[in-house]
Amino acid sequence: MKHHRPKVRPALAVALAAAAAVTVLSACGSSSSNSSSNSKAPLKIGMSLPLTGPVADVSKSGYEGYQLWASKDNANGGMLGRKVKLDVLDDGFDPNQSGSNYTRLISQNKVDLLLGTFSSLLNAPDSAIAARQGMLYVEPSGGAPTLFARGFKNLFFAQPGTSLTLPDQFVAYIASLPAGQRPTTAAYVTQDDPSASPAVAVFKKKLEALGVKTLYDQTYDPSTSNFDTIAASVAHAAPQLVLQGAVAGDGAQFARSLQKLSFSPKTLFQINSPADATYASAIGGAANAEGIFTALAWSPEAKYPGNAEFVAAYEKAFGHAPSEDAANSYTAGQVLAAAVKAVGRIDQKALAAWLHSHTVSTIVGPMKWDATGVPEGSLLLAQWQSGALRILAPKSAATTTKIVAPKPPWGT
């Protein structure tokens, strides 16, 4: 029995060849531009946020910042003639979940662009996934030095400073004090966190160089909820300056423990927490917050282009004042949009290259990055005064010349 090879009809062969050619061409095109295949479809921007879990409050306002940026961008015509659509997944502040969410956004949801999440804890693995997939990654949070030591060319931090430059303005303020007014002793407590711990280490090193003696230095686990014994040890050491590397609610919890002991240090600096919208309420009212220092990436009163409009639009949209986290995510959106509009296409490498060589105007001021994505600037020094955070330094952004020192006793 003879087997015949089936004949392929010429017309069918031509059609198959044409289809294969189209497939190959479209595949080649998609590596540099997803937009060419469906130019009027919304531009999908993916992100995984801790919308539930221990930092859900912070993330909520951050998400609102992203939403506002997207709606404002859409009102101005979107990007590349396409509307912006956010593709948001919840990770519950779990780094494993966050990582798998970004993988899903890239491989299954086929997002055109990514935006970062909150905390160094989550941004560290997520930015690595983005780097592996060749995606641009602009993050609103995550200033831990370890994130920028990996040599990623696609990572950009959308705040004016990182953990390493966070202490700059406060240390400069301490250094500017006359010898008689400068604190001579300090206690350091910090959460074991990739962003807070290195910042506190820099504080300690620089303050010790100024002659401030360390009396207490402890790192606590992120799961710590009871700060009474830590506060008691701090009070027992009786330092003039207390510095806490807080991440979220741990700042308010520690302040509450200090209140129970009626121990009010002359100077109290906390990272992150004092900028939370609920901070003053959590520690018993604005009177208790009076005189507490912190570092900020953004101020609602800063005169940078678009900042006043951002504050007004945010208050109108959400019915409350924007937090620093909202401003940071809005800034990340601004950075991404500036690159896309300048490059004119979705080409991840070209977008990163453009950001490495240009300055972007944002609501936190003009931003420029080094080769590893570290912004070339520093954070603002702020202090709670009369129920609000006031900017003390740098002078160009200062909203007051008054400094509350020493910190008044609790509740006065």
Binding site for another protein (CB under 8 A): 51-54, 56-57, 59-60, 92, 189, 192, 218-221, 223-226, 228-230, 232-233, 236, 248-249, 252-253, 256, 259-262, 278, 281-284, 288, 410
CB of 326 to another protein, least distance (A): 14
Q: Please state the closest distance from residue 217 (CB atom) to another protein, in A.
A: 10
188 vs 293, which CB is nearer to another protein? Answer: 188
Residue number with CB closer to another protein (51 or 164): 51
The count of other CB atoms within 10 Å of the CB of residue 357 is 9
* Alpha carbons 257 and 23: distance in angstroms, whole number: 65
Closest to another protein by CB, 282 or 355? 282
Give the dihedral sign, CA 260/219/116/331: positive
* Nearest residue (CB) to another protein, 26 versus 262: 262
Query: Which is closer to another protein, CB of 96 or CB of 223?
Result: 223
Residue 103 vs residues 130, 349, 396: alpha-carbon distances, Å? 8, 19, 42
Would you say 108 or 225 has its CB closer to another protein? Answer: 225
Across 75-172, the runs of DSSP E, i.e. the strands, are: 84-90, 113-115, 137-139, 155-157
The minimum distance between CB 274 and another protein, in angstroms, equals: 15
Residue 183 C-beta: closest distance to another protein, Å = 22
Shortest spacing between CB 122 and another protein, in angstroms: 15
Burial environment of residue 81 by CB neighbours within 10 A (0 to 12, 13 to 18, 19 or more): exposed
Supply 100's token pair.
Answer: 């798998």
Separation of alpha carbons 36 and 175, rounded Å: 56
Query: Could you tell me which of 312, 314, 298 has the C-alpha nearest to residue 367?
Result: 298
- State in angstroms the smallest separation of the CB of 212 from another protein: 21
CB of 192 to another protein, least distance (A): 7
Q: What's the helix, strand, coil split of the chain in %, to 5?
A: 40, 20, 40
- The least distance separating another protein from the CB of residue 226, rounded to whole angstroms, comes to 6
* Closer of 161 and 239 to another protein (Cβ): 239
Where helices occur in 301-407 by DSSP H, the ranges are: 307-318, 324-343, 348-357
Residue 227 CB, shortest distance to another protein, in Å, is 9
* Nearer CB in complex with another protein: 49/86: 49
Give the span between the Cα atoms of 66 and 64, in whole angstroms: 5
Decide whether 220 or 304 has the Cβ nearer to another protein.
220
Q: Per DSSP, which regions of 192-233 are E strands?
A: 213-220
Give the three-class secondary structure for 205.
helix
Q: How far apart are CA 138 and CA 18, in angstroms?
A: 39
